[in-house]
Structure 1
Amino acid sequence: MEISVLPETLAVCRLRASDRIPSWALELHEGFVSITRTPDELSIVCPQDAVPPDTQVEEDWRALVVPGPIPFEATGVLSALATPLADAGIPIFAISTYDTDYVLVREQNLERALHVLHADPERQLITSGSPYEPVIGFSRAVRAGSRVLVSGTGPVMPDGGCPESTAAQARRCWEIVLAALAEAGASASDVVRTRTLLTPTADAEGAMTAHGEVFSDVRPASTMVVIHALLDPRWTVEVEAEAQLDA
């Protein structure tokens, strides 16, 4: 399905059902504005920079839109967007108009949502949530048919920190790799090749031990090389993996 993204960052506002529609909403004559009144609330969706600071609001939404007009007799249009996003664990806020449907996703989920909705059934893009993925233009892993390729993976902790020892860093790298493989429907037993990049100050024995903890029974083809440096000066190790699934 063809979809496009509205340029504005939107806010979803809640006012009391008895409130008048505020002037800051009525005066928005350009861009996206949706105003809905029910017996329980007055809901306004509009550009975020128009909302005054004392408003109850959920911020940082982006709108995906299906080109319209969509005939009223058409079925399954909203479901075609909502279902794959739900399967990917992406929350949505849906709005329908006379002409078409809008699906709002959090700005932090926008790139992932587009990947999900544009995905080739033979090509699956896996994200780890890194802020660099949309900036650089890469995926943590890509499943192309029966192949799964995991990008170079550094020892990044959820809080942005980094373990101190090479062995602990390598274990964290493989933890991230295994999570990406699992999302692609693969596991360590499917891995056919690994690569380990070490800095001159790395503890090679520690990296080897961590590799063996994951792959001692799998025995993939493997390469370990020493390079000048890695992207983050705290890192002493970075890894890659390739897996092959049954066709």
Structure 2
Amino acid sequence: MNVLEGTYSVCRLPPSDRVPSWALELHEGFMSITRTPDELSIVCGQDAVPPDVTVEDGWKAMVVPGPIPFSETGVLARLATPLAAAGISIFAISTYDTDYILVKEGDLERALETLRSTGRRLIASGSPYEPVIGFSRAVREGDRVLVSGTGPVMPDGGCPESTYEQALRAWEIVAKALNEAGATVDDVVRTRTYLTPDADPDGAQKAHGEVFGEVRPASTMLVVHSLLDPRWTVEVEAEAQTRR
């Protein structure tokens, strides 16, 4: 969503009134005129409205980057539903190209944050395998963040020796992905740890406790036949539920 400059007013005039000259003279910026059998409604910059007009002031306008094809369905619903759940009132206007959502000025930042946390966000780590295999390091869908299976890969491609060090490195990568998705390790509600037969379970448990000792997520540890990289003795994944 892009936020338009300025503050807007929603004006109500009698349905039989002519469109006033002060509205007709607004040749730049965002302005909307709608006539129904019951009213003449004008949305325009707040500074343009005369003092004798029935008006609701103090709106900020957000616009969906367009054009939106007429065949696209549910665009406005995907915006209005999370805002309604957050208790944010809206005034919506649709045009040929796109949709505009107006919210009260005091609700703007909360509305933007609500919309940022809505819908699917893909978090990449830069791994060359992500586009080849077709996966993301993490996916955020609404207030839920899922982090893919994560191995103990160092920035130079190396791998720590012990299971404990490998687990710490893997959780470090997970924490970075969570942060990029707008979450933290404190939001984690489930973890899974995969260990090879040669792994040191105590080391993996120690690392998990250092990262999640205060969080106490639901957790599963499994012994598997092997992992993708023969140097790895541990791989981890996490699921978080944000509280923002």
Deviation of 1:147 (Å)? 0.3
Deviation of 1:120 (Å)? 10
Amino acid at match of 1:140: R
**Equivalent-residue separation in structure 1 for 2:136 and 2:232 (angstroms):** 20
Deviation of 1:246 (Å)? 2.3
Larger Rg: 2
**Equivalent-residue separation in structure 2 for 1:120 and 1:190 (angstroms):** 14
Q: CA RMSD in A?
A: 2.5
Q: Identify the residue that residue 236 of structure 1 maps to in structure 2.
A: 233
> Please, which of 223, 231, 237 is the counterpart of residue 226 of structure 1?
223
Amino acid at match of 1:207: A
> Does structure 1 retain, via aligned residues, the 8 Å contact 2:119–2:141?
yes
**Equivalent-residue separation in structure 1 for 2:129 and 2:156 (angstroms):** 15
> Does structure 1 retain, via aligned residues, the 8 Å contact 2:117–2:143?
no
Deviation of 1:215 (Å)? 0.3
| Shift >2 Å, 4+ stretches | none
> Please, which of 211, 214, 224 is the counterpart of residue 211 of structure 2?
214
Amino acid at match of 2:217: P
Q: How does 1:58-69 map to 2 (within 5 A)?
A: none
Q: Identify the residue that residue 150 of structure 1 maps to in structure 2.
A: 147
Q: Identify the residue that residue 170 of structure 1 maps to in structure 2.
A: 167
Deviations 1:94-137 (A, max 9, x none): xxxxxxxxxxxxxxxxxxxxxxxxx9951110011100000000
1:246 aligns with 2:243: yes
* TM-score normalised by length of structure 1: 0.52
Q: Identify the residue that residue 194 of structure 1 maps to in structure 2.
A: 191
Deviations 1:122-179 (A, max 9, x none): 1110011100000000000000001000000000001100001000000000000000
Q: Identify the residue that residue 136 of structure 1 maps to in structure 2.
A: 133
**Equivalent-residue separation in structure 1 for 2:118 and 2:217 (angstroms):** 27
Amino acid at match of 1:203: D
**Equivalent-residue separation in structure 2 for 1:194 and 1:223 (angstroms):** 6
Residues 120, 214 of structure 1: alpha-carbon distance in 2 compared, 3 angstrom cutoff: closer
Amino acid at match of 1:149: L
% identity of equivalent residues: 75
Deviations 1:33-75 (A, max 9, x none): xxxxxxxxxxxxxxxxxxxxxxxxxxxxxxxxxxxxxxxxxxx
**Equivalent-residue separation in structure 2 for 1:246 and 1:225 (angstroms):** 29
1:205 aligns with 2:205: no
Gaps of 5+ in 1: 1-79, 81-118
Amino acid at match of 2:155: P
Gaps of 5+ in 2: 1-64, 66-115
**Equivalent-residue separation in structure 1 for 2:121 and 2:166 (angstroms):** 27
1:180 aligns with 2:177: yes
